[in-house]
């Protein structure tokens, strides 16, 4: 049987893999190659846009727990991420190109997979379909979805951080050190003293911003532009992405007042992402202000930061916990369009949509993971009634409270993960076949 997957991002590719490995043929429709988006720079499948970091791996972090759950359910994107990883301390960061190449290689290895470069404007509801067009869905497709669901979109702005040429960084000022004192010396650090920081802060909050179109400004907190963060107080950045904990400047043997950290975009270190520097400053202002960072005075910007409108549907009104439309059981949505926030969260939604569509076509019950798991909570987040539906990422705060929670914060987080792992394993044993 043939299934349509619309969108070749992380969610769409994960979804396609789950269907293909279960014996279904998949026609994937991807408009890039015919029509680009404001933020993608290539035509490749599973292209990462905002960052190359897939966040923490340890089980004392909800992102680490999510990775365990994805691995247990045989996530294609996670497997390819590990094959294309670059050093990033306790986080999983990847070489973007290698990740896309790995994903494409696996999908193209299935005889039943066909990639069709085409902008989809309407969906044939007689064909089982997963819509994973992402937060940058084209206008025509967005209009069809809006008409189909009978409701308006909810919108927020997302922001992208700049990337600089590794050869243009001054390594007599920048230095490698562990982020927050954890892991290897995987992050490149640009240290500031108090005077440098205050001058940078002043320039940042007075820099000219690009005009936003179409929407009122409503940014998701985890993608906050650095200038918006700075406007909340002179020390806000120092308690956020510029926090200097665990860092000592080897060039002066001093503890910095603030630290800007850069993360490798590829294994060779030819390009670096300025961590936490999502921005809506005009390009000329980015060059002027960010060149005040010690070590980046002569940096060549390979990509300036941009802001763009992300779009997501009011999922609880229209979707069930399998990610299917409530009155169209073989039409599914996946990815950030559903209101999950984050790369791996999008992967999780694609996996669940693909698995559940395959199960429905095979006459099996839906895969609904336990409420104590991250994926199970995301399933409930997109389907539970909500008066003010907002995007959600993996975090322990969405999980049910623990009985006899340890006072120690780290032990408490591990206990959340251990409980989830046990419940997931018991659930998967009970259904026998995934």
Beta bridge mates, 262: 188, 274
Quickly count: other Cβ atoms within 10 Å of residue 317's Cβ. Answer: 14
Cα 188 to Cα 172: distance, rounded to the nearest angstrom:
12
Cα 220 to Cα 217: distance, rounded to the nearest angstrom:
10
Cα 87 to Cα 186: distance, rounded to the nearest angstrom:
5
What does the pLDDT read at residue 127? 98
Given the DSSP bridges, would you call strands 258-264 and 182-192 parallel, antiparallel or unpaired? Answer: antiparallel
- Model-level pTM? 0.79
Residues of the chain with pLDDT under 50: 215-216
Cα 233 to Cα 242: distance, rounded to the nearest angstrom:
13
Given the DSSP bridges, would you call strands 301-303 and 163-165 parallel, antiparallel or unpaired? Answer: antiparallel
Cα 134 to Cα 31: distance, rounded to the nearest angstrom:
12
Cα 399 to Cα 359: distance, rounded to the nearest angstrom:
26
Helices first, then strands: H and E counts in the chain: 12, 17
- Helices 10-20 and 343-361: crossing angle in degrees, nearest 10, is 30
- Helices 374-381 and 62-72: crossing angle in degrees, nearest 10, is 100
Q: What's 403's DSSP letter?
A: T
User: Starting at the edge strand that comes first in sequence, how are the strands of the sheet with 324-325 ordered?
Assistant: 113-117, 25-30, 2-6, 129-131, 328-333, 324-325
pLDDT, tens only, 309-336: 778 999 999 999 999 999 999 999 999 9
What does the pLDDT read at residue 52? 84
pLDDT, tens only, 362-378: 999 999 999 999 999 99
Cα 165 to Cα 300: distance, rounded to the nearest angstrom:
5
Quickly count: other Cβ atoms within 10 Å of residue 352's Cβ. Answer: 31
Exposed / middle / buried, residue 105 (Cβ in 10 Å: 0-12, 13-18, 19+): exposed
Q: List Cβ neighbours of 154 (8 Å cut-off, separation of 6 or more).
A: 311, 312, 313, 314, 339, 389, 390
Alpha helices in 241-327 (DSSP H): 283-290, 315-318
What does the pLDDT read at residue 216? 46
> Which helix (H) or strand (E) segment is 25 a member of?
strand 25-30
**Start-to-end CA span in the chain (Å):** 19
The answer to whether the CB of 191 falls within 8 A of the CB of 244 is yes
What does the pLDDT read at residue 224? 84
What does the pLDDT read at residue 215? 45
> Which helix (H) or strand (E) segment is 94 a member of?
strand 91-94
Q: For residue 214, give both structure tokens.
A: 């179409």
């Amino acid at each position: 049987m043939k299934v349509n997957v619309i969108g070749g991002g992380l969610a769409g590719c994960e979804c396609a893999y789950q269907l293909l490995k279960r014996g279904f043929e998949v026609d994937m429709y991807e408009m890039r190659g015919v029509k680009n988006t404001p933020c993608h720079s290539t035509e490749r499948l599973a292209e990462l846009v905002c960052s190359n970091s897939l966040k923490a791996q340890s089980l004392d972090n909800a992102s680490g727990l999510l990775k365990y759950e994805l691995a247990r359910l045989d996530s294609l994107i996670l497997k390819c991420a590990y094959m294309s990883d670059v050093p990033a301390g306790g986080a999983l960061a990847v070489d973007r190109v290698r990740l896309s190449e790995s994903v494409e290689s696996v999908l193209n290895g299935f005889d039943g997979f066909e990639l069709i470069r085409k902008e989809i404007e309407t969906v044939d509801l007689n064909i089982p379909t997963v819509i994973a067009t992402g937060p940058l869905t084209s206008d025509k497709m967005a209009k069809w979805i809006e008409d189909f669901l009978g409701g308006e979109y909810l919108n927020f702005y997302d922001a992208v951080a700049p990337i600089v040429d590794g050869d243009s960084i001054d390594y007599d000022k920048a230095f490698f050190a562990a982020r927050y004192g954890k892991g290897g010396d995987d992050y490149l650090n640009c240290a500031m003293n108090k005077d440098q920081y205050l001058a940078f802060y002043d320039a940042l909050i007075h820099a000219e911003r690009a005009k936003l179109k179409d929407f009122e400004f409503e940014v998701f907190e985890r993608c906050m532009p650095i200038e918006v963060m700075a406007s909340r107080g002179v020390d806000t950045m120092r308690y956020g992405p510029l926090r200097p904990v665990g860092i000592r400047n080897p060039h002066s043997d001093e503890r910095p007042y603030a630290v800007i950290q850069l993360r490798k975009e590829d294994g060779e270190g030819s390009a670096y992402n300025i961590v936490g520097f999502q921005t809506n400053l005009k390009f000329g202002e980015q060059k002027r202000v960010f060149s005040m960072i010690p070590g980046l005075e002569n940096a060549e910007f390979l990509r300036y930061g941009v802001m763009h409108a992300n779009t997501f549907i009011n999922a609880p009104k229209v979707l069930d916990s399998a990610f299917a439309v409530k009155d169209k059981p073989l039409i599914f949505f996946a990815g950030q369009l559903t209101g999950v926030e984050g790369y791996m969260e999008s992967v999780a939604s694609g996996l669940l949509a693909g698995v559940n569509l395959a199960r429905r076509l095979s006459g099996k019950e839906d895969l609904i993971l336990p409420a104590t798991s991250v994926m199970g909570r995301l399933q409930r987040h997109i389907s539970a009634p909500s008066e003010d539906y907002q995007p959600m990422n993996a975090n322990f705060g969405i999980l049910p409270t623990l009985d006899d929670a340890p006072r120690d914060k780290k032990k408490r987080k591990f206990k959340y993960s251990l409980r989830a792992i046990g419940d997931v394993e018991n659930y998967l044993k009970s259904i026998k076949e995934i």
